[in-house]
Structure 1
Amino acid sequence: MSTQFLAHRDDRVIPFAVEALDARGRVVRLGELIDRVLERHAYPAPVSRLVGEIVVLAVLLGTSLKFEGRFQLQTRTDGAVDMLVVDFEAPDRVRAYARFDADKLAALPEDARPEQLLGRGHLALTIDQGSDMSRYQGIVALEGQSIEEAAHQYFRQSEQIPTRVRIAVGETVTGLGDASRHAWRAGGLIVQFLPTSPERQRQADLHPGDAPEGAAEAKPFMEDDAWVEARSLVETIEDHELLDPTLTSEELLYRLFHERGVRVFEAQPVVERCRCSRERIVAMLSRFTADERRDMVGDDGRIGITCEFCSTHYHVEPGEVGLDDEA
């Protein structure tokens, strides 16, 4: 099977529904897109895996937006990777970058799990529908859990929708010896329980802490059977199934839900594209004071700016930001 044919299966999201289980979801497979993002920044492998995971989550959530706007995931933590940022611009544009401390990273074991790189802090989920609409932001505390677990925590606390997420990131090798090439791949699946009856969607209450003596004990919580089945099936997914370029998203969904029947909908392509431009850079610089702009001028007589997302370097002449007429 040709590489070109396999590539057509990547960088797209497929919505699906399992009506017998009142479940809906999306599956994403990222090939060239995630490889370009990670190769451009040349992150160490553990950082690349972490970036891949949060990009997958952002795509799974961002493609559910029903409006033209932006969805952003951002972490701020005390770990070796102290910041992750993913911008998803509906309906299909994504960009990402990470900031890490090389010394802290070197002190971790080579097989450190992504959650060990993050440490403690928070994950913010922001929906921006434009200047005419108020922004929505949800916050999840990061206390050593994985990106998957943080997503579950968000849906449990904020959206109160039973949700299961699976994410996998890995490297593939093609060719032999000196002709071999390493490339990154990533994949993910989200399934949610959306029955007609809100009572069936109910989840277990959060732990109340230390209850006063004599307080009545809460009744045992029983999950809906349909949700237990859907969640349990998704939990059987192995990483290689989300990464295998020869296994299509449709085949994976059939493998999971064929006994119940699964409907797939039109695939949504996803592209890696930055929002930066020369006009945006000049506009940003113009917001600084004249003294601040003057201090930015380098030895070559120009202001140099590198986009953190796409690594594009811009050279801005002083006159472009109003410094020519300055005394």
Structure 2
Amino acid sequence: MTDTHPELDDLVLPFSVEPLEARGRITRLGPLVDRILERHAYPPQVARLVGEMVVLAVLLGTSLKFEGRFQLQTRTDGAVDMLVVDFEAPDRVRAYARFDAERLGELAADASPAALLGRGHLALTIDQGSDMSRYQGIVALEGQSIEDAAHQYFLQSEQIPTRIRIAVGETLAGARHTWRAGGVMVQFLPSSPERQRQADLPPGDAPEGATAHVVDEDDAWVEARSLVETVEDHELLDPTLTSETLLYRLFHERGVRVFEAQTVIERCRCSRERIVGMLRQFSPEERRSMVGDDGRIGITCEFCSTHYQVEPAEVGVED
């Protein structure tokens, strides 16, 4: 019998490799990602994209040191023109995708993320509440994967050497296939700022023949990055392989230290009160136009598919 560890799913495990001055996080998602993907019955290509975005949001969102919201959102011209993942600190995540079924059907079943998404952008937004200004970083999507877009963000906006590996796939659990996902992120955070220097980004207007500014990568970072790059998809998805075991495989020669694991849960922010409040923001004419043949306003949450029936009088629509 396979020795699985369901109690270790839907957790994020922070770790550090002190000899390499590297820190990171690893996550293995089981029931959480399966509920999100199965609820919407996404086609497999779309499900994998959503799963990748959920993993990335969990890796980044759980690193926040304050209560608030972290959101990943793509807007592109491809068959999958929108992906949204909300992470509400400290532990709640929800997600959905919007896609054109006809255009999706014209693509191969194993179409790459670039083919599915097309061109557009990935936005990373941190919202600490009404008393604080929002932060937003934008990365152009021009044919790269979600992983590569994340690397581009850290290079351009945070200037922190970062390597991320993400995997999403289906496994057989009893009589049905279930979705699993996993990811690992490592960052080079030396105590000396000089060791973290990177080459300047191309200015775009350098004269022809100008010599590019080159900074050799730190040997410690090269080692940490190279080790994470060896992680294979099946290692991130295998329910019999614990996160601690995988980290030991990667860093046992240097020594890896793990910290307290953090649980993440799939939960939507929607509620009847929020729906009513949202409807009241529309004009009276718009609210009247929403009333259906049954005399009520019907709203379905895009994230969790919960359907709400609102009486027109609740939002100020008179008979």
Q: Considering the TM-score relative to the shorter chain, is it more than 0.5?
A: yes
Match of 2:176 among 172, 175, 181: 181
Tell me if the contact between 1:49 and 1:114 (Cα under 8 Å) persists in the aligned partners: no
Residue 225 of structure 2 corresponds to which residue in structure 1?
Answer: 231
Q: Which residue of 2 aligns with 1:202?
A: 197
Q: Determine the C-alpha separation between the residues in 1 that align with 2:204 and 2:299.
A: 50
Q: Aligned partners of 2:79, 2:237: CA distance in 1, in Å?
A: 26
Q: SS state of the match for residue 8, structure 1?
A: helix
1:84-163 superposed matches below 5 A: 84-163=83-162
Does structure 1 retain, via aligned residues, the 8 Å contact 2:197–2:215? no
Distance 1:214 1:28, change over 3 A: closer
Q: Quote the Cα distance in structure 1 between the aligned partners of 2:50 and 2:71.
A: 13
Post-superposition Cα deviations, 1:148-188, rounded to whole Å, max 9, x if no partner, equal 0000000000000000000000000133xxxx210000000
The alignment covers a number of residue pairs equal to 319
Q: Quick one: structure 1 residues 133 and 212, their matched pair in 2 at CA, closer, same or farther if it must change by over 3 Å?
A: same
Relative to structure 1, the CA distance from residue 213 to residue 319 in structure 2 (aligned partners, 3 Å threshold; closer, same or farther) is closer
Q: Could you give the per-residue CA deviations for residues 7-49 of structure 1, whole angstroms, max 9, x where no partner exists?
A: 2110010000000000000000100000000000000000000
Q: Separation in 2 of the partners of 1:219 and 1:122?
A: 27
Partner of 1:60: 59
Which amino acid is the alignment partner of residue 320 of structure 1? Answer: E
Change (3 A) 1:174 1:301: same
Question: Which secondary structure state, in structure 2, belongs to the residue aligned with residue 186 of structure 1?
Answer: strand
1:49 equivalenced with 2:48 (yes/no): yes
Give the aligned partner of residue 248 of structure 1: 242
Matched residues, percent identical? 81
- Note if 1:73 corresponds to 2:68: no
* SS class of match (1:150): helix
Question: Contact 1:77–1:121 (CA<8 Å) still a contact in 2?
Answer: yes
RMSD (Å) for aligned C-alpha atoms: 1.4
Q: What do the CA deviations read for 1:115-158 (whole angstroms, capped 9, x no partner)? A: 22111000000000000000000000000100000000000000
Structure 2 letter corresponding to 1:236: T
Q: Does 1:265 align with 2:259?
A: yes
- Report the Cα distance in structure 2 between the residues aligned to 1:141 and 1:294, rounded to whole angstroms: 40
Of the candidates 269, 285, 297, which is equivalent to residue 275 of structure 1? 269
Contact 1:234 1:256 in 2 (8 A): yes
Please state if 1:166 is matched with 2:189: no
TM-score for the superposition, normalised by structure 1: 0.95
Unmatched 5+ stretches in structure 2: none
Amino acid at match of 1:73: L
Q: Which residue of 2 aligns with 1:83?
A: 82
**Contact 1:115–1:147 (Cα < 8 Å) also in 2:** no
Contact preservation (8 Å) 2:126, 2:136: yes
Aligned to 2:315: 321
| 2:84 and 2:96 in contact (8 A); partners too | yes
Q: Shift in Å at residue 213 of structure 1?
A: 5.0
| Contact 2:169/2:181, CA 8 A, preserved across alignment | yes
Unaligned runs of 5+ in 1: none
Distance 1:128 1:62 in 2: 11
Structure 1 stretches of 4+ moved >4 Å: none
Alpha-carbon distance in structure 1 between the residues aligned to 2:304 and 2:126: 22
- 1:208 deviates by 3.9
Q: 1:286 aligns with which of 280, 286, 290?
A: 280
